[in-house]
Structure 1
Amino acid sequence: MKFAFALATIAAVVLAQDDVAPDNNFIEIVGGTEAKVGQHRYLAGLKRSATATTSCGGSLIAPNVILTAAHCTGSGLTTVVVGSHFLSGSSDGELAKVTKEIRHPKYVASTNANDVAILLLDRSITTIAPVAVSFETVPADVVTWVRGWGRTTSGGIQSQVLKEVSVTTWSNAKATTALRPYTVDNTMLAAGGKQGEDSCQGDSGGPLTIEQNGVARLVGVVSWGIGCGDLNKPGVYSRFNTARAFIEPYLKKKNLRVPYLVSEFAEETDEVVADSDVVSALEGGN
């Protein structure tokens, strides 16, 4: 299930992987197989309403926080279904409303640099465990996984069920050469490039994970690409190691590994889970 996705903001040939565009521009996983039901419930589908189909993907990283792509924001995707296996409906998942969209402050729509965003929900998701977020620097030749409900072929129809495919990472230099005239900068991670296996329209914002012993750690989100599943044309994801200062304030305390300052990006009224003890110490509190 490979992405045939690309950023709509870059150029007509490069399609964004989200539901920001009309329904016929959604990106979906190309190739791959149906994911096991109930195994990846941290995945979220972003929709325009509870009865609409999923237009962008996301991941639950804290009880009331979804991590997605910045280019999925600002387009009326105000409803989130977490834990569902299906493109439509919410009976097997948890439904919530988006109360706030927070784009990375250095997001650049024309290049898709820093293409990450936080969605705050109107309620905590209590029956589904958030996925662990990793800020490791992912090198080339690492096997990763991508999942979503995007198109199964470039310009085709969306998958009715959650699909998954494994994609191997590239170096940024090699990916930039393969995707000219577009640049894969240090905020991005390329993966894939096998014929017929990729993310595609509709997969935008969905998770890129590394998995060991059945445990997933989130290292990126679907961002852009040229076509879907074309040979030697990897999909491009947003890296988390360069977005750590933005993402980390929204993680649960037990997942934190270094101190951070919430106040740089979050507001007191956001009601996100934060390590108040660490923040107090860094700000000179007792």
Structure 2
Amino acid sequence: MRHVLLFSLLFCSLFLNGMCEDDDENDQIIGGTLAAKGQYPYMVYFRNQATGRLFCSGTLITPSRVLTTAWCFPSSLSMIDVTAWMNTVSLTPDVDRVVRRVIRVVRAPDYNPVTGLHDIAIITLDAPVFSVRPVRLAFGAFVNAGNTAVVTGWGYTGATQLSTFLRHSPITIQPKSLCVSSFGNTNFGSQFFICAASIGVGSCSLDAGSPILLNGNQLGISSQSRCGGGEPVVGVDVRAYERWIVSHL
């Protein structure tokens, strides 16, 4: 059974050409604090230049590649007006921002939007970015339930309070059984996912594609959540896709 995040994202994909409005009250990093400028320079937000709207996030992993979810880039989405913004904590233009056009999307070949399996994609930019430090991927990392990770993202901090600045929050890695029971999806117990949750912390649709960081390295990609503080966040485990990621860099 898919939850509200996937439904809302699918609706946007089918009827709004993938571009959700950033005034949706469910789009949020809940319980977070403002990130410092330069703290996460590799954080990317994807923007529809025609509407000026943020619709998903990602991370710069090489000078010309961005890691995100496959869901964020359905085959129906035109790349003509999609840009990737990075090296900024603000959704509004600033002097340090770096902007590139998206020219290619490679989705995991077995991606299934119904089950959520293999929700991962690599984006190619129209020109490399050498002024921004890419994030390191946590290939080979050993992770236990109880480890403290970090989630980041833009969006609402509550029902009516929109933050236009990047926020981050600590979150605890949980047993996968928590996400299985919370979402009724046994796939979330597989090696392809991680599960994280903390009281008062949450994420939602504008945070899809954002990283789950462990010791500063990217362990997961935020894929699914229920848009509320304390609800589990399902992340795609990048360690399960090391060979696929490396083959597309």
Instruction: Provide TM-score, normalisation by structure 2.
Output: 0.84
Tell me: CA distance 1:11–1:61, structure 2 relative to 1, closer, same or farther (3 Å).
closer
Aligned equivalent of 2:149, options 144, 157, 170: 144
Within 5 Å, which residues of 2 pair with 1:201-280?
201-211=205-215, 216-229=216-229, 231=230, 233-251=231-249
Give the Cα–Cα distance (whole angstroms) in 1 for the partners of residues 138 and 56 of structure 2.
21
Q: Does structure 1 residue 30 correspond to structure 2 residue 30?
A: yes
Task: Tell me the residue number matched to 1:53.
Answer: 53
Q: Does structure 1 residue 93 correspond to structure 2 residue 97?
A: yes
Task: Give 1:8's aligned amino acid.
Answer: F
Aligned equivalent of 1:133, options 137, 150, 162: 137
Deviations 1:187-240 (A, max 9, x none): 11111141x2111231110111112xxxx11111110112321x4x31111111
Q: Does structure 1 residue 62 correspond to structure 2 residue 67?
A: no
Task: Tell me the residue number matched to 2:6.
Answer: 7
Aligned equivalent of 2:128, options 124, 128, 137: 124
Deviations 1:140-195 (A, max 9, x none): 11111111103323x6454200000111011112321233367523211111141x
User: Where does structure 2 lack aligned partners over 5 or more consecutive residues?
Assistant: 12-16
- Report how many residues are paired: 234
Instruction: Report the alpha carbon displacement of residue 126 of structure 1 after superposing the two structures with TM.
Output: 1.2
Task: Tell me the residue number matched to 1:190.
Answer: 195
Give the Cα–Cα distance (whole angstroms) in 2 for the partners of residues 10 and 72 of structure 1.
8
Deviations 1:253-284 (A, max 9, x none): xxxxxxxxxxxxxxxxxxxxxxxxxxxxxxxx
Instruction: Report the alpha carbon displacement of residue 125 of structure 1 after superposing the two structures with TM.
Output: 0.4
Task: Give 1:141's aligned amino acid.
Answer: G
Q: Residue 59 of structure 2 aligns to a residue in which SS?
A: strand
**Kept after mapping to 2: 8 A contact 1:57/1:205:** yes
Task: Tell me the residue number matched to 1:280.
Answer: none
Q: Does structure 1 residue 108 correspond to structure 2 residue 106?
A: no
Please report the RMSD computed on the Cα atoms of aligned residues, expressed in angstroms. Answer: 2.6
More strand as a share of residues? 2
Give the Cα–Cα distance (whole angstroms) in 2 for the partners of residues 94 and 179 of structure 1.
37
Larger Rg: 1
Q: Residue 240 of structure 2 aligns to a residue in which SS?
A: coil
Tell me: CA distance 1:5–1:248, structure 2 relative to 1, closer, same or farther (3 Å).
farther
User: Where does structure 1 lack aligned partners over 5 or more consecutive residues?
Assistant: 13-18, 252-286
Deviations 1:85-125 (A, max 9, x none): 11232532111001101111111101211111000000000
Instruction: Report the alpha carbon displacement of residue 6 of structure 1 after superposing the two structures with TM.
Output: 2.5
Instruction: Report the alpha carbon displacement of residue 249 of structure 1 after superposing the two structures with TM.
Output: 2.5
**Kept after mapping to 1: 8 A contact 2:28/2:227:** no
Give the Cα–Cα distance (whole angstroms) in 1 for the partners of residues 214 and 116 of structure 2.
22
**Kept after mapping to 2: 8 A contact 1:225/1:234:** yes
Give the Cα–Cα distance (whole angstroms) in 1 for the partners of residues 107 and 219 of structure 2.
18
Tell me: CA distance 1:161–1:248, structure 2 relative to 1, closer, same or farther (3 Å).
same
**Kept after mapping to 1: 8 A contact 2:27/2:155:** yes
Structure 1 moving runs of 4+ over 6 Å: 9-12
Give the Cα–Cα distance (whole angstroms) in 1 for the partners of residues 108 and 213 of structure 2.
20
Instruction: Report the alpha carbon displacement of residue 11 of structure 1 after superposing the two structures with TM.
Output: 8.7
Task: Tell me the residue number matched to 2:14.
Answer: none
Instruction: Provide TM-score, normalisation by structure 1.
Output: 0.74
**Kept after mapping to 2: 8 A contact 1:223/1:238:** yes
